[in-house]
Amino acid sequence: MTCTVRALLAKLQVPVRQGQTTLKALKASGWIEATPTPNGRGRPRYTYRVTPSLVARLAASPQSSVPLADCIEAVSDLDASADKAEDHVAAAEKMTPIDGISNPQALATLFDAESPKGVIHDGGGEGAVLLSPLPSNLRKGHARKHQLTSANRWLVMVLLAHADSAGQVFGLGVSALARFTGMGRSQLHSQLGKLKRLGLLGHYHPGRMGLGDRRTSLFTLNLSHPAFGRRDRLCVDLLIVTPRRKNAPLPPLTVINGLAEALFVVAMLESNSSDNQVPRALSDGDKAVFYDAKHLLPGGFRVGAQGAWLAEHYDEALAHWLQSRLQAYALLLLARSEGSDALNIGDVAVPHPDLVRAIVDDFPRWPQDTSTMGGDPDALPPQVTLFYPLARHLALQLRAFLELACASHDAVDMTSLDLCLIPDNQYRQAAWRLYGYAKRRDDATSPTRSLVKLDPVVSDFAVWLRRRKQASAWASGMSRPPVSQA
């Protein structure tokens, strides 16, 4: 290709700043060659070629397909013309927010509502989101926060390239993401905040230290956003609503968002107990918390010898990170299950190798307790015996919801769908959305839409865990209670 740098970046729809940084890195790595071409007056032109070394390396590498390649193509093809962008501004100004609806009957009316072409409501009560970037005109700067710029789309495409079929990105730290996009950390965090506000990014948990290793950031893309072009593949649209109980925490805790904290609660209480009964010498309040935690966990679940170590490493942000990972494990089980009977989910004695491998890769430095393994070389690692039952329990719950939603249809084959689970915050009660997309447009069927209610527990695990950890720190001499003033 022979053109100027700006023409090349415009053709690729890459921001100039990030594109120049990326071109410089590619040339420094020896992946592309840029040969100056006589151009007379004006900006210099270059002939760009892929180097033979890169061609040979690509030919030798395994041909791994990108699960969301169609979404990358849809984002890159968004119309960027100035005249249509102006029409989008006019349409956005006329849109009325649809949030604030709190009763189930009204929720059902939203399922069939379609947004105007090129415009989508962001679910946050701020109006509309423009899919097309506005022309570079300072007079239209007031609408910039409602539209996808080239920098936004560049970041989204990088995330899509590293995402699995559920739109989840794991193992990609902020440093690596900054390097791939050419953005600084400050700009990157600003961009992620905007994508979250516009609805393209459903979940984001920053990386942190915890459970023996550095945990990288977690990203979950909202594949239901029109920018990803998957609406014509939607087969299942399940809204899981959790009504709030009196004196219950906000958001209410259920099996979808409370498994990790329930695990830490049981770990703290069972670490001082040697039997399967309720730990001794508990107050009535602690017993209520313990029973609520056991209610969310699988029947007969025991933390075992890892309880003390797990309780020692509790952190609220880490628990939220772990909960997102358990959701990903559950979706992986649903996607890998064999047919509608989901044999690999129902048979706990035969754990799915893909999930075992994913857990070991996520927690490689987990302390090994040889006493519980009995010297058996084929025994599952302790991190697998701990997290696999939780993921299986959540997968069974989600499968039950899907079967309930599709009761009037044939059994849903989970392996034929890309499943996406994200929080839905446009209503005044806690809700989650489980979407199922056909892997191919030819396999798409008429969408099945349903509403499911999920009862929460009353206990606030986060508050209880914070107090328990503080009391433990005082008892161990790590800190002292504040001295009361006379």
pLDDT digits (tens, 9 = 90+) for 397-416: 998 888 887 775 555 666 78
pLDDT digits (tens, 9 = 90+) for 284-304: 888 899 999 999 999 888 887
The type of residue at 347 is: D
pLDDT digits (tens, 9 = 90+) for 48-70: 888 888 788 777 766 567 888 88
Q: What is the mean pLDDT of the chain?
A: 76
CB 461 within 8 A of CB 250: no
pLDDT band at 378 (very low <50, low <70, confident <90, very high): low
Q: Which residue's structure tokens are 């790590």?
A: 478
- Residue 44, pLDDT > 50, answer yes
pLDDT of residue 20: 81
The type of residue at 272 is: N
115: exposed, middle or buried (Cβ count in 10 Å: 0-12, 13-18, 19+) = middle
Report, as an integer, the average pLDDT of 125-132: 47
Chain center to CA of 300: 29
Q: Which residue's structure tokens are 């069974």?
A: 396
- Token readout for 380 is 């599952």
- Residue 117, pLDDT > 60, answer no
Q: Among 61-70, 450-459, 462-471, which is the least confidently predicted range?
A: 61-70
Report, as an integer, the average pLDDT of 119-147: 49
Concatenated DSSP letters of 83-134? HHHHHHHHHHHH--------SHHHHHHTTT--PPTTEEE-SSSS-EEESSPP
297: exposed, middle or buried (Cβ count in 10 Å: 0-12, 13-18, 19+) = buried
pLDDT of residue 148: 82
pLDDT digits (tens, 9 = 90+) for 159-176: 999 998 888 998 888 888
* Percent of the chain at pLDDT exceeding 70: 72
For the chain, counts of helices (H) and of strands (E): 18, 14
Helix (H), strand (E), coil (C) string for 153-176:
HHHHHHHHHCCCCCCEECCCCHHH
* Percent of the chain at pLDDT exceeding 90: 17
pLDDT digits (tens, 9 = 90+) for 99-113: 333 333 433 333 333
- Token readout for 319 is 């628990």
Q: Among 99-113, 181-195, 387-401, which is the least confidently predicted range?
A: 99-113
pLDDT band at 429 (very low <50, low <70, confident <90, very high): low
CB 179 within 8 A of CB 219: no
Which residue, 126, 103, 129, is CA-closest to 116? 129
pLDDT of residue 8: 81
- Token readout for 463 is 């508050």
Top mean-pLDDT range of 11-25, 93-107, 341-355? 11-25
Distance in angstroms (rounded) separating the CA atoms of residues 42 and 47 = 16
| Cis ω before 298 (30° cut-off from 0) | no
Angle between helices 259-270 and 284-296 (to 10 degrees): 130
Kindly report the backbone phi and psi dihedral angles of residue 234, in degrees, each rounded to the nearest multiple of 5, phi listed first.
-65, 120
pLDDT digits (tens, 9 = 90+) for 235-253: 889 999 888 777 777 788 9
Report, as an integer, the average pLDDT of 338-348: 48
Distance in angstroms (rounded) separating the CA atoms of residues 3 and 37 = 9
Q: What pTM value is reported for the model?
A: 0.76
Report, as an integer, the average pLDDT of 68-93: 60
Report, as an integer, the average pLDDT of 251-260: 91
Which is higher by pLDDT, 142 or 448? 448
CB 207 within 8 A of CB 216: yes
